[in-house]
Structure 1
Amino acid sequence: MDLPPDSPRVVRPSSKRDAPWFQRFSRPILFLIVSLMLVGAYLAFTIPVAVFPNTDFPRIVIGIDNGVTPIDQMLVIITRPIEEAVNSVPGLRKVQSITSRGSAEVDLFFDWNSDMILTLQRVDAVVARMQAELPPTAKVETHRLTFASFPILGYSLTSDTIPQNRLWEIATYDIKPRVNRLDGVASVLVQGGRVPEFQVTPDPARLLTAGITVNDILEAIRRTNLIDSPGLIENNHQLVLGLISGQVRTPEQIGQIVVKSSTAGIPIRLGDIAKIAPSVAPVYTMVTANGKPSVLLSVHRQPDSNTLDVANEVHSQIEEIRPTLPPGVHIEPFYDQSTIVHESIASVRDAVLLGLLLSSVILVLFLRDWGSSLVAGLVIPATLLITFIVLKLTGESFNLMTLGGLAAAVGLVIDDAIVVLENIVLHRDAGQRRFEAIQSALQEMTIPLIGSTITPIVVFLPLISITGVTG
């Protein structure tokens, strides 16, 4: 039915299609932001924490220990053969070596694009083939260089009443195994103390009479001091593995080792031709803590582990071990890398809180708008929580680099938030409604803000091309 021309018309509000996109999708946008913040807060507790980022340096270190062999002999029979053998490893750029009395270190440098895990396997294969050509007394170790190669915790074991050889046994047999099996611990290195051993002093006259050489003594001790199995024993339809222990623990047991038999068939025992007494291994390096001789335990973490979690587990384990130590034995930490991480996290926290406080004070003083101050305060934690999702997806960790970047980025986020809010308030004061003011502010400030944000990125962009340890 047609209305007469003079009839009153109902003025309908403008269609929702004419509203700005952020007004039409305000609820989904709010839901998405809150969801991302919750996901970021959850993932923040799963991101590894370390002092430095997880970096695979293109370097593999081969360490060789061969007692007290002279330098010239080490160079000929160990260092040079290893250098020549590793030249066949793909991707090798440079080889450097340091040879000293009884030890050698061969450093292999590769391209930064090399897969260091695969490269380490190839180096291990070369070293395994070389092992037969090296002296039987040579001990060879290979490892790739990462930030996890350095210890994260260190403890000192001291005592005024317990001897150093007993401290070494406590550290090696009581503390080290319990710490080494914790989650995230790669290895525990024991340094210092006096390593207990038995000293065998042959009598030259008796050796000559019995026709026995020093090599015969060494071979007899090596052949006897072991645990072996004679095989399986079948009994009542069951197979039982038999074990025979020939381990020696006292000088008397060592003296009962049969070196050889005489022509008359009489066994010649080690105690008949030599003196056996408890002793300690020679000490070439003195280790002290607080001016006292001590035993040090250095804890290394696994490359992908969390420094804070590993440190907390080790501290808890040490506190459980402490009451079981003999009276007079003191164990104290002398190095703790987790304190650096705690300080870095605290600095980021302080930067965020200070940014929130300053931005809120500035907005309240100059704009006199508590609502705008609240919005600016929410922008910073929302941005950081969403950044945690990116860190998790890219496999990054909380370290000095990422935490420092977050602390620096807080200033940029606050600056952009203040500029946008100030422009919105300006349009509101001009008489525009809320959404109209937001739309006008975004139209005016989007391109300038993008430019101001990209500018520092462009300035630091050339740093991406830096290679080597610096990059």
Structure 2
Amino acid sequence: MRRRGGLIGFFVHHRVAANLVMLVMLLGGALGIARMNIQFFPTFALDVVSVRVVWSGASAEDIEQGITNPLEQRLRSLDGLKRMTSTSAQGIANITLEFREGTDPVLALDDVRQQVDSFTNLPADAETPEVSRLARYEPVARLLVHGDLAPHELRQMAQRFEDELLLAGIDRVEITGLPAQQISIEVPVERLQGMGLSLGDIAGRVEGMSRDLPAGLLGQRDSARELRSLQQRRDALGFEDLPILSGDRVQLRLGDIATIRQEPRDGQVELAYRGRPAAELVLQRAESGNSLAAARVLAGWVEETRPTLPPSVELEVYDESWQLIDDRISLLLLNGASGLLLVVILLYFFLPARVALWVAIGIPTAFMAALARMLHRVSQKSSDARLGGDKRDLGWSLAVF
């Protein structure tokens, strides 16, 4: 009997080889599913860095001449820079830098920071430039904390919950509903006159003694260490200990002559639920995170935290975006299983049972091979991006629409 040649003939006469190929396809697909990032939209990189400089009281023309134009001249020579746009408005300058596809975002951010830090001709009254990389986050759920609590107690509890969630594995937590705080310092005129001081002297003392400033480097090369003054006060108690007058015997602190309060700013909107103070925590995941994994972290944290709360405090989870992803994945699996069952039933009508079974097995095997191929393509793009190729790592994700 003459054997049929070609690839099909080879597998017909070598069944073990066919089974091994099928096993490799299934294992590759399983590996692809394990590394798949489940989210609403495909992963895409934002190769954008923003530079922001505040110069209070300066006009737009002064901002452009003193900050925007000099910084643009320095940043124009960055490697991989694709486009640079700037905005000069009253009191603020914004520069947005877009880099070419495949540029390492961490190195690009470091290059921008080095160029900005080396620029020493900023106006004396301008604030320290803020350099940041634009990042994309997706919502996971919202957490509402409300109860019979004083405003400062609610703030402390919300901040504690934020720290616990971040430590548990949530990528980002934003607190809303709490009014912005300000520290007010009130000094009676009689005390100022008695000490021979003016309000400007007190303001200058507060500004000079409550600042975080770099103080140069200590050592050389690998042993160099940065020196920095960390004296900025961040709460009312810190300002109370601020020295105002120092002598041989007497040391006068700001708390001895002034009333210092930390209170909400005027015109702030406070969140309330059922007539009680409330705070909202917005839980988000990073672009490379997993919504379902973040949901499991949240569920475990809520289960552990609720029993420890006072009776008057309630914790509610709502707007759970991860449930939409879970529902759509369940619908996708249900439709796939139903379609496969119908295909198997139809195959049994026209083919022998054994042949119909192997044809049915070939359908999910082909899907698994496609997932393995996608994983290989993504890994190849990542390698090209690390080697400096002009390709973007789109990530490996299941986009659920």
Pair 1:104–1:371, CA change in 2 (3 A): farther
2: CA distance between counterparts of 1:205 and 1:99?
A: 42
1:72 to 32, 44, 59: 59
Structure 1 counterpart of 2:396, one-letter code = S
Alignment match, 2:178: 193
Q: List per-residue Cα deviations over 1:75-100 (Å, max 9, x = no partner).
A: 46666665554334331413143757
Counterpart position of 1:376: 359
Q: In structure 2, the residue corresponding to 1:57 is in which secondary structure?
A: coil
Question: Is the 1:193–1:293 Cα contact (8 Å) retained in structure 2?
Answer: no
Aligned partner of 1:354 in structure 2 is 338
Structure 2 residue 192 is the aligned partner of structure 1 residue 207: yes
Local SS of the residue matching 1:60: strand
1:32-87 CA-partner distances (Å, limit 9, x unpaired): 20343144225422333233322112322345578xx4573794666666555433
Q: Is this contact kept in 2: 1:165–1:195, CA < 8 A? A: no
Give the match for residue 435 of structure 1: none
| Amino acid corresponding to residue 370 of structure 2 in structure 1 | T
Asked whether the 8 Å contact 1:50–1:306 carries over to 2, the reply is yes
Give 2:398's aligned residue.
399
- Aligned-pair CA distance for 1:283: 5.7
Higher relative contact order (CA 8 A, sep 6+): 2
Report whether the alignment pairs 1:93 with 2:69: no
Give secondary structure in 2 for the equivalent of 1:277: strand
Query: Mapping of 1:46-125 within 5 angstroms?
Result: 46-63=35-52, 69-70=56-57, 72=59, 75=63, 82-83=71-72, 85-90=74-79, 91-97=81-87, 99=89, 105-125=94-114
Number of residues paired by the alignment? 360
Give the one of 297, 306, 317 matched to 1:313: 297
Unaligned runs of 5+ in 1: 1-13, 226-244, 405-471
Displacement of 1:20 after TM fit? 3.1
Summarize the alignment of residues 2-41 of structure 1 with structure 2, pairs less than 5 Å apart.
14=1, 20-41=9-30
* Residue 303 of structure 2 corresponds to residue 297 of structure 1: no
SS at match of 1:33: helix
Query: 1:315, 1:281 → 2: CA distance?
Result: 35
Query: Which has a greater percent of helix?
Result: 1
What per-residue deviation string (whole Å, max 9, x for no partner) do you get for residues 360-391 of structure 1?
344345x2644444333222211122223223
Q: Say which SS state the counterpart of residue 166 (structure 1) adopts.
A: helix
Q: Distance between the aligned counterparts of 2:310 and 2:95, measured in 1?
A: 42
What is the alpha-carbon distance in structure 2 between the residues aligned to residue 248 and residue 123 of structure 1?
Answer: 29
Change over 3 Å in CA distance of 1:368–1:319 after alignment to 2: same
Aligned to 2:157: 170
Query: Do structure 1's residue 259 and structure 2's residue 261 form an aligned pair?
Result: no
> 379, 390, 396: which one pairs with 2:373?
390
Paired AA for residue 87 in structure 1? R
Secondary structure of 1:49's partner?
strand
CA distances 1:4-36 after superposition (whole Å, capped 9, x unpaired): xxxxxxxxxx26678932321222112320343
1:236 alignment counterpart: none
* Kept after mapping to 2: 8 A contact 1:217/1:270: no
Structure 1 residues 311 and 248, CA, compared in 2 at 3 Å: closer, same or farther? closer
Measured against aligned partners, the alpha-carbon deviations of 1:178-236 in whole angstroms (never above 9, x if no partner) come to 221234x443333331355642112244334422513344147627x9xxxxxxxxxxx
Q: How does 1:202-281 map to 2 (within 5 A)?
A: 202-209=187-194, 210-212=196-198, 213-219=201-207, 222=210, 254-255=239-240, 257-261=242-246, 266-281=250-265
Say if 1:168 and 1:194, in contact at 8 Å, map to a contact too. no
How high is the sequence identity, in percent, across the aligned residues?
A: 19
Q: CA deviation at 1:398?
A: 3.0
- AA partner of residue 399 (structure 1): L
Q: Which has the larger radius of gyration?
A: 1
How many angstroms does 1:297 deviate by? Answer: 2.4
Partner SS for 2:186: strand
What is the Cα deviation at residue 161 of structure 1?
1.4
CA contact (8 A) 1:288 1:294 kept: yes
Conserved 8 A contact 1:57-1:112: no
Instruction: Select the residue among 131, 136, 145 that pairs with 1:158.
Output: 145
Q: 1:328 to 1:78 in 2, by over 3 A?
A: farther
For the structure 1 residues 156 and 358, does the alpha-carbon distance in structure 2 shift closer, same or farther, using more than 3 Å as the test?
same
